[in-house]
């Protein structure tokens, strides 16, 4: 099979590799679409490396090259002897996380036993922690990690299930937190009236849709985003917008809320300088969801003014977590259903489509930094 291998920082190479041999409880997936995530770009550029050795130190790409791509959709080529409920020809989306349930480990670790498989003590991820990802013709995964697509969902859209799952899982974490303010709280004084959001990339735009369409939130959502095309999408999905290169988001939010500011802030940009303005955007004891990744170039001292406001800080937690009765990932199934039903629009977010592995180097050449870029998908 062909695979696009990251041999070192910023160095892709197309190689011919053996086709993976699935185990008795695994399926071999012929990849049909791979979404490109900010995590992929961070690994490619050398800004992050999540493949760690036993001591927690990063394993250099030059020592262990990686096949990136964790937002995977495809078609089952073959199924192992013990696999039930899936067969060759089934279209599937893949949960890239391997955990106790994936491995059939008994007893499961305390995290998997409580539905928090994303924090499994033995957790690994295809395309992120050294396991081969989707930028290849085939990938072998545990059968319980494959969720069948029952509809005629277009293949690029099917690759959006994983990122939507990340949004859903983060929103679940926020709803479970014992915070002062909550969406649609029964007690009016504890109800979120205004949400501030930094960034209108794919995550931010799906957050807006989920808040409006799934949670029925009807208060203010102010999205700060420098890209005009992304601001227009956010506005279309029900948000107010501000261009931070022209107007001060703190001033705009204070005017819109008559000085009250936001009870809930979603950091979905990965821009470090956002942290410097958080104190001006939130009320005391607000909830702050740290969803974006990166945040380069800013020292921890920017958090000094934040910590005295006593916010509830929630960290992004990926898409895995919780299982259906047949052992498959519950959040992926929820996300798939929302996309299939049209309640969450992902088609509008896919601005760049790349034809196969030959175009992967082009996809990582810097196009993702263009103002009009929202989401790229490699189609196989």
How do residues 139-162 score in pLDDT, each as one tens digit? 999 999 999 999 999 999 999 999
Please give the pLDDT value at position 318: 87
Please give the pLDDT value at position 272: 86
- Give the range among 16-25, 246-255, 283-292, 307-316 with minimum mean pLDDT: 307-316
State yes or no: pLDDT of 9 exceeds 80. yes
Domain limits for position 171: 166-315
The rounded mean pLDDT for the chain is 95
CATH number for the domain that contains residue 270: 3.40.50.720
| Digit-coded pLDDT (tens) for 303-355 | 888 989 999 999 988 888 778 888 789 999 999 999 999 999 999 999 999 99
Q: Which of 295, 315, 335 corresponds to the end of one domain?
A: 315
3-state class of 143 per DSSP?
A: helix
Number of alpha carbons in the 13 Å side-chain half-sphere of residue 79 = 18
| Dihedral pair phi/psi, residue 363, rounded to 5° | -65, -25
- 380, two tokens: 């196989």
Residue 328 lies in a domain: no
Which residue is listed with tokens 């005629």?
152
The string of DSSP codes covering 199-242 is --SHHHHHHHHIIIIIS---SEEEEE-S-HHHHHHHHHTT-EEE
3-state class of 112 per DSSP?
A: helix
Q: Which of 315, 335, 367 corresponds to the end of one domain?
A: 315
CATH number for the domain that contains residue 365: 3.90.180.10
Residue 116 lies in a domain: yes
Task: Say how many domains are in the chain.
Answer: 2
Same domain, 46 and 125: yes
Same domain, 196 and 279: yes
Same domain, 270 and 189: yes
Residue 330 lies in a domain: no
Same domain, 178 and 97: no
Same domain, 176 and 56: no
Residue 97 lies in a domain: yes
Confidence band of 293 (pLDDT split at 50, 70, 90) = confident
Same domain, 195 and 101: no
Q: Which of 53, 147, 183, 86 is nearest to 339 (CA)?
A: 147
Same domain, 206 and 72: no
Please give the pLDDT value at position 299: 82
Residues 6+ away with beta carbon under 8 Å from 369: none
State yes or no: pLDDT of 295 exceeds 80. no
CB of 305 closer than 8 Å to CB of 330 = no
Rounded distance between C-alpha atoms, residue 23 and residue 351, angstroms: 37
State yes or no: pLDDT of 301 exceeds 90. no
Residue 85 lies in a domain: yes
Q: Which helix (H) or strand (E) holds 14?
A: strand 11-16
Distances in Å between the Cα of 30 and the Cα atoms of 3, 9, 131, 132, 302 are 12, 27, 16, 13, 46
Please give the pLDDT value at position 17: 98
Q: Which of 296, 315, 334 corresponds to the end of one domain?
A: 315
Residue 18 lies in a domain: yes
Rounded distance between C-alpha atoms, residue 312 and residue 307, angstroms: 10
Count the Cβ atoms, other than its own, within 10 Å of residue 16: 8
Mean pLDDT to the nearest integer, 37-45: 95
| Digit-coded pLDDT (tens) for 122-136 | 999 999 999 999 999
Same domain, 355 and 289: no
Confidence band of 294 (pLDDT split at 50, 70, 90) = confident
Provide the angle, in degrees to the nearest 10, between the axes of the packed helices 228-236 and 202-209.
20
Rounded distance between C-alpha atoms, residue 136 and residue 17, angstroms: 9
Partners of residue 182 on adjacent β-strands: 191
Please give the pLDDT value at position 297: 75
Same domain, 83 and 185: no
Rounded distance between C-alpha atoms, residue 134 and residue 70, angstroms: 6
Confidence band of 170 (pLDDT split at 50, 70, 90) = very high
Same domain, 135 and 205: no
Residues 6+ away with beta carbon under 8 Å from 258: none
Phi-psi sector, 356: left (phi>0), alpha (psi -120 to 50), beta: left
Rounded distance between C-alpha atoms, residue 202 and residue 205, angstroms: 5
Residue 332 lies in a domain: no
Residue 263 lies in a domain: yes
State yes or no: pLDDT of 222 exceeds 90. yes
Q: What is the DSSP letter of 80?
A: -
> Going by DSSP bridges, is the β-strand pair 138-142/26-36 parallel, antiparallel, or unpaired?
antiparallel
- Give the rounded percent of residues in the chain with a pLDDT score beyond 90: 87
| Digit-coded pLDDT (tens) for 241-257 | 999 999 999 999 999 99
Same domain, 7 and 107: yes
Q: Which helix (H) or strand (E) holds 285?
A: strand 282-290
Q: Which of 346, 373, 369 is nearest to 156 (CA)?
A: 346
For the stretch 344-348, contacts whose Cβ atoms lie closer than 8 Å and that sit 24 or more positions apart, written own/partner, are: 344/164, 344/206, 344/209, 344/210, 344/213, 344/214, 345/209, 345/237, 346/157, 346/160, 346/164, 346/206, 347/154, 347/156, 347/157, 348/233, 348/236
Same domain, 74 and 202: no
């Amino acid at each position: 099979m062909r695979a696009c291998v990251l041999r070192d920082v910023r160095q892709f190479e197309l190689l011919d590799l053996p086709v993976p041999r699935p185990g008795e409880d695994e399926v071999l997936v012929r990849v049909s679409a791979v979404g490109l995530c900010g995590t992929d770009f961070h690994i490619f550029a050398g800004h992050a490396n999540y493949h760690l050795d036993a001591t927690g130190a990063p394993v250099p790409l030059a020592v262990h090259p990686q096949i990136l791509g964790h937002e995977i959709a495809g078609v089952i080529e073959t199924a192992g002897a013990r696999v039930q409920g899936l067969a060759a020809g089934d279209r599937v989306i893949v949960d890239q996380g391997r955990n106790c349930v994936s491995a059939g480990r008994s007893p499961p670790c305390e995290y998997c036993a409580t539905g928090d498989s994303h924090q499994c003590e033995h957790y690994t991820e295809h395309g992120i922690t050294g396991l081969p990802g989707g930028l290849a013709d085939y990938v072998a995964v545990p059968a319980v990690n494959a969720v069948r697509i029952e509809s005629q969902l277009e293949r690029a859209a099917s690759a959006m299930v994983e990122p939507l799952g990340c949004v859903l899982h983060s929103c679940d974490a926020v709803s479970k937190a014992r915070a002062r303010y909550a969406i649609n709280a029964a007690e009016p004084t504890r109800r979120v009236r205004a949400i501030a959001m930094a960034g209108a990339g794919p995550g931010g735009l799906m957050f807006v849709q989920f808040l409006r369409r799934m949670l029925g939130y009807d208060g203010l959502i102010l999205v700060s985003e420098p890209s005009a095309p992304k601001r227009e999408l956010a506005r279309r999905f029900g948000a107010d917008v501000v261009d931070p290169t022209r107007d001060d988001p703190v001033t705009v939010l204070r005017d819109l809320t008559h000085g009250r500011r936001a009870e809930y802030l979603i950091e979905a940009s990965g821009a470090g300088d956002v942290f410097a303005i958080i104190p001006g955007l939130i009320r005391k004891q607000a909830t702050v969801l740290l969803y974006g990744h990166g945040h380069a170039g800013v020292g921890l001292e920017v958090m000094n003014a934040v910590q005295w406001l006593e916010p509830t800080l929630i960290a992004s937690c990926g898409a895995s977590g919780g299982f259906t009765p047949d052992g498959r990932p519950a959040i992926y199934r929820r996300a798939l259903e929302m996309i299939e039903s049209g309640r969450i629009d992902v088609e509008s977010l896919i601005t760049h489509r790349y034809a196969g592995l030959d175009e992967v180097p082009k996809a990582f050449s810097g196009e993702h930094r263009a103002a009009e870029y929202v989401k790229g998908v490699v189609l196989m």
